[in-house]
Amino acid sequence: MPYTPHDTTAPRIALVGATGAVGETLIGLIEDRAFRYREIQLVASPRSQGRTLRVDGREHRVSAVDTFDFSTVDLAFFSAGSDVSRKWAPVAAAQGALVIDNTNAFRMDPDTPLVVPQVNADALATRPASGIVANPNCSTIPLVRLLRPIEDRWGLSKVVVSTYQAASGRGHSGTAELHEATRAALANPADPGPQAEFAPTLAFNVIPFIDELLDSGFTMEEQKMLQESRKILALRHLDVTTTCVRVPVRNGHSEAVWIECHDVVDRAELVAALCALPEVTVHDRDAPGAFPTPRTIAEANDVHVGRIRVSPHNPRGCWLWVVADNLRIGAALNALQIAEELVARGTL
């Protein structure tokens, strides 16, 4: 049973953004993975104050972040957006909570480790100077988990990525808008439906633009994948270039990844290396050409990879097709695995 109120070795935890898509996913994962805690407090914006949510069969009333006392918890998960994290995560850390932040607010802060436990868990050996551990971007996490063994064996020279990102990347409001816009378009193809989250409409459409535009011509989402991959893999000069695209999929991000290595890549050895990774499903291990899709993946807690190809005209280059549940792999599950690692290492 995750809830162990008399176990003083189990942390007291707070979930900031508990009513959002990532927060609700995190609650489910805490239950599913039996993460031990002796107290849990749900926190959100003032407009959600007073709502009740069930965790492990017990009702919990949601508190407002602007009045919450973080000195009452040991560990605080933040999944309420960058603005909330910038304002309140340092407050929580100053009051003694170790923060796991699921936003872009602190990822590139030199005093804040950016962690994917399967890749760089050693960054959790000591409590960070900032009191914050950053959770990477939803598209970066599955990518670096697959790049790590490739770098170790063949060396990485260049990575080119095209992402196909689901509506749930914008939370509950994103999936709701996709559903409503799709219904509107089916009734009248000229009706774009609502466009509060996605403009132009995402219904029967793809949008090659996510987040704000930078002076470089790339978007912030695309820059995140470059900066974060370099930091997590400890490869300061790794060449990563990306086009991030929003697609009319409810949940589950996909990526087409071209990788150039320093040495010639053998496909059979590459497949074996990926198969050896924990919580990775290789779809074309036995049937070359097989592939996962967001609609058909069976294990939502795995990174799924298929269409593994070594280029015949450039044997140092290979292609991967990658699919991962962005609310789990790309957000809540990685955050919880950070917490599990912190507990296992006694860093809390």
Say whether both 41 and 66 belong to one domain.
Answer: yes
Say whether both 120 and 243 belong to one domain.
Answer: no
Say whether both 320 and 338 belong to one domain.
Answer: no
> Is 285 among the domain residues?
yes
pLDDT > 70: percent of the chain: 100
Say whether both 72 and 145 belong to one domain.
Answer: no
Is 3 a residue whose pLDDT tops 90? no
Angle (CA) 281-337-21 rounded to 5° is 85
> Is 224 among the domain residues?
yes
Using CB atoms within 10 A of its CB, is residue 235 exposed (0-12), middle (13-18) or buried (19+)?
Answer: middle
Mean pLDDT, residues 75-101 taken together: 97
161-211 residue pLDDT tens: 999 999 999 999 999 999 999 999 999 999 999 999 999 999 999 999 999
Say whether both 152 and 300 belong to one domain.
Answer: yes
Binding-site positions: 19-22, 47-48, 107, 165, 168-169, 189, 246, 326
Say whether both 162 and 301 belong to one domain.
Answer: yes
- The chain-wide mean pLDDT, for the chain, equals 97
Say whether both 132 and 146 belong to one domain.
Answer: no
Closest-CA residue to 252 (of 168, 159, 183, 137): 168
Closest-CA residue to 169 (of 133, 209, 129): 209
Say whether both 130 and 227 belong to one domain.
Answer: no
Q: Give the CATH number of the domain where residue 305 resides.
A: 3.30.360.10
Q: Give the CATH number of the domain where residue 110 resides.
A: 3.40.50.720
> Is 196 among the domain residues?
no
Q: Residue 82 belongs to what domain range?
A: 12-136+331-345
Report the catalytic residues.
138, 253
Between the alpha carbon of residue 328 and those of residues 3, 51, 146, 153, 276, the distances in Å are 21, 24, 17, 28, 21
Binding-site positions for substrate: 165, 246
Binding-site positions for phosphate: 107
Say whether both 214 and 335 belong to one domain.
Answer: no
253-281 residue pLDDT tens: 999 999 999 999 999 999 999 999 999 99
> Is 297 among the domain residues?
yes
> Is 96 among the domain residues?
yes
Number of domains in the chain: 2
Mean pLDDT, residues 19-31 taken together: 96
Say whether both 154 and 265 belong to one domain.
Answer: yes
